[in-house]
Chains A and B, each alone.
Chain A
Amino acid sequence: MAVHRELFNRRLHSLLGVVPIGLYLVTHLVVNHFAVYGEEEFNRAAGFMGNLPFLILLEIFVIYLPILFHAVLGVYIAFTANYNLKNYSFFRNWMFALQRITGIVTLIFIVWHVWETRVQKALGVVEVNYSLMESILSSPFMFWFYVVGVISTVFHFSNGLWGFMVTWGITQSPKSQKITTYGVVVVFLVLSYIGVRSLIAFAYGV
């Protein structure tokens, strides 16, 4: 693969964004939604996820390494573009810019989020459960930081799905690309609802 390293890296970047990172994101958001049904329900679901067999290996190979690769190459991609929305304010050009902006926002959010939860748990400072999230999100600043972070992440994933379909040559015709746009809008709305609904449950207990 040495000959076509750039192509290989870009294709791997596209694939990792969906499998496993995208799949993990959907799982994470769905499990969070248990918060809506109450503290016990959430703690039971989070406890199941947090006590999976081979947890550390799953985390390393399904989450940490793929996200690390995706983030490093992603930041490089974001900073090698020449944004020109002023002269070309087409819909796709906006999506192009937003994909890169949300990528950076999402990276900042994830670093903070992982520091606050997983790292603190590893250091033995906190337990990851409902009351931890409740205490974080009861601060209005952190609540809005999480809202922005979740919506940014979901946008990056949804629009990334559209890009995935083009990068892998699945959607070729303008018509199929247009219909995929409608499809990913639905994905964005549904996942945003699930994510923000859980945040409201943590913060306000409703």
Chain B
Amino acid sequence: MAEQKTITFIITRQDGPDSAPYEETFEVPYRKNMNVISGLMEIRKNPVNAKGEKTTPVQWDMNCLEEVCGACSMVINGVPRQSCAALVDELETPVRLAPMSTFPVVRDLIIDRERMFDALKQVKAWIPIDGTHDLGPGPRMPEKKRQWAYELSKCMTCGVCLESCPNVNDKSNFIGPAALSQARLFNAHPTGEMNKSERLDGLMQEGGVSGCGNAQNCVQVCPKGIPLTTSIAAMNRATNIQAFKNFFGSDNAH
């Protein structure tokens, strides 16, 4: 049998949240159409590094395996993206894997995206519909609006936009592009609109919409093609108008 072709993976590993990161190289047997995750699964099956030493299997996060859950985001050859959708045939070798640096590392390639969920809480990215009795159907949504709002709803909180943003870092409290766009999504909804000012208030707090510096990397790297910078500009406009309403007073400040 011909010699098995291998793919080299250079992985930035970290044993725990407080330990120092280090690089480890692996030679993984090549299979046709393999993605980064199947490569990581091979390492898990046979955790031996390129020097032939037995090591611990590399840890990573994954869930849906079809680029809709956002859990398997990592930095692949310098680009933050989902490892499930990263086909090895389309990557330069050696394949370099690293955890996304904006987030705290749990272990190896697993990161903690909790700050993104905290940001969604800050902007109240949901629609409150619970009541003591049936409130009946809500107002209808114009089809054209539904179409662009649907694009915003594709956000999977994967963290790639935060990773690419120069203003999301430990020196600033900016919550990042994802939550700003989600506030726009729920404010566009006819029922969600009834709590519009509460979400705008979240955007106007520390770390909110004013943290954006218009580097616009987010819109370039978003795997779902969400018009994040349009959302941010829209929220700039909405928060400005809300601020004027709050200051001068308005019956429409709700």
- The residue among A8, A82, A97 with the most chain B CB atoms within 10 A of its own CB is A82
Complex interface: chain B residues within 8 A of A84 (CB): 164, 166, 217
| Nearest A residue (CB) for B236 | A169
Cβ of B214: which chain A residues have Cβ within 8 Å of it? 92, 95-96, 162-163, 166-167
Contacts of B235 in A (CB 8 A): 169
A80-B167, A174-B229 given as contacts; is B206 within 8 A of A11 (CB)?
Answer: no
Q: Enumerate chain A interface residues (CB-CB to B < 8 A).
A: 1, 3-4, 6-8, 10-11, 77, 79-84, 87-88, 90, 92-93, 95-97, 162-163, 166-174, 177
Verify if B141 is at the interface (C-beta below 8 Å from A): no
**Given A87-B79, A169-B238, residue A80 in contact with residue B171 (CB < 8 A):** yes
Q: Is the CB of B240 within 8 A of A169?
A: yes
Taken together as a complex, chains A and B put the C-alpha atoms of A6 and B167 apart, in Å, by 15
A83 to B234, CA, bound (A): 25
Q: Flag if B208 contacts A7 (CB, 8 Å).
A: yes
Quick check: A7 and B213 within 8 Å, CB to CB? no
B210 and A88 contact, CB distance less than 8 A: no
Please tell me if the beta carbons of A92 and B215 are within 8 angstroms of each other in the complex. yes
Contacts of A4 in B (CB 8 A): 204-205, 243
Q: Are B171 and A169 in contact (CB under 8 A)?
A: no
Beta-carbon contact of B233 and A169 below 8 Å: yes
The distance from the CB of A75 to the nearest CB of chain B, in whole angstroms, is 13
**Beta-carbon contact of B236 and A168 below 8 Å:** yes
- If A7-B204, A7-B210, A163-B214 touch, does A88 touch B164 (CB 8 Å cutoff)? yes
Q: Which of A79, A162, A167 has the most CB of B within 10 A?
A: A167
Question: For B164, B169, B236, B240, which residue has the most chain A Cβ atoms within 10 angstroms?
Answer: B236
* Cβ contacts under 8 Å, A162 to chain B: 214
Min distance, Cβ A8 to any Cβ of chain B, angstroms: 8
B230 at the A interface (CB under 8 A): yes
Task: Find out whether the CB atom of B237 lies under 8 angstroms from the CB atom of A172.
Answer: yes
Nearest A residue to B210, CB-CB: A10
Interface residues on B, range: 35 or more
Q: Which 4 A-B pairs have the closest CB atoms?
A: A169-B237, A96-B215, A92-B216, A10-B210
CB-CB nearest in chain A for B208 = A7
Would you list which residues of chain B between 202 and 234 have a CB under 8 Å from chain A? 204-211, 213-217, 220-221, 227, 229-230, 232-234
CB of B236 within 8 A of CB of A93, answer no
Interchain Cβ contacts under 8 Å between A and B, 22 examples: A6-B206, A7-B208, A7-B243, A80-B169, A81-B166, A82-B166, A84-B217, A87-B78, A90-B217, A93-B217, A96-B166, A96-B214, A97-B166, A97-B215, A162-B214, A166-B232, A166-B236, A167-B214, A168-B240, A172-B230, A174-B227, A174-B230
Query: In the complex, what residue of chain B is closest to A176 when comparing beta carbons?
Result: B233
Residues in A neighbouring B230, C-beta threshold 8 A: 172-174
Cβ contacts under 8 Å, A168 to chain B: 236-237, 240
Set of chain A residues within 8 Å of B247, measured between Cβ atoms = 1
**What chain B residues lie within 8 Å of A166 (beta carbons)?**
214, 229, 232-233, 236
Known: A4-B204, A90-B215, A168-B237. 18 other contacts (CB 8 A): A3-B204, A6-B208, A7-B205, A80-B167, A84-B217, A88-B164, A90-B220, A92-B217, A93-B216, A162-B214, A166-B229, A168-B236, A169-B235, A169-B237, A172-B230, A172-B233, A174-B229, A177-B233
Contact of A81 among B167, B220, B237 (CB under 8 A): B167
Q: Which A-chain residue is minimally distant from B247 (CB atoms)?
A: A1
User: Does B239 sit within 8 A of A, measured CB to CB?
Assistant: yes
Nearest residue (CB) in B for A94 is B215
